[in-house]
Amino acid sequence: MSKIRITKKFTFEAGHALYGYDGKCKNLHGHSYKLSVTVIGEPITDTSHVKLGMVMDFGDLKRIVKKDIEDVFDHATIFNKNTPHLELAQELEKRGHHVILVDYQPSTENMIIDFADKIKAKLPENIKLYSLKLQETETSYAEWYASDNGE
């Protein structure tokens, strides 16, 4: 049977600041992120299966990414909790803002690694994460490929 890749796209708005960075991104700022999620598998061949011919129902993939990434990160401010930004995060939270504290510098590169781990943990056994593309602007993005990561 042929292996087929399917891709679903998601969007969310989020703010972040890169502590210690030597450019403008050290300042609190936001992006309209675009996330493309590609999984790979074989289309279902069981003629009695309700999802005959599908690798994975796009709706099932949407539920995974929406619950663990899109709904969590949308309109949040992301800070590395191991920096002095923790004080700013606590102040924002006191004022009712949605803040996410992560164990890493919240660059697009590190966010995509985090997202890959979250998605892989929820995929059905027969479906593998093939790639992710996280776009922070129209001209800047990071990509994650399973093949580059020994998977």
Catalytic residues: 25, 75, 136
Backbone angles phi, psi at 104, to 5 degrees: -145, 165
CA–CA separation, 54 vs 4, rounded Å?
9
R_g over Cα of the chain? 17
**Quick one: which of 96, 94, 112 has its CA closest to 104?**
112
Q: Cα–Cα distances in Å, from 115 out to 80, 96, 101? A: 16, 25, 14
* C-beta neighbour count of 75 within 10 angstroms: 12
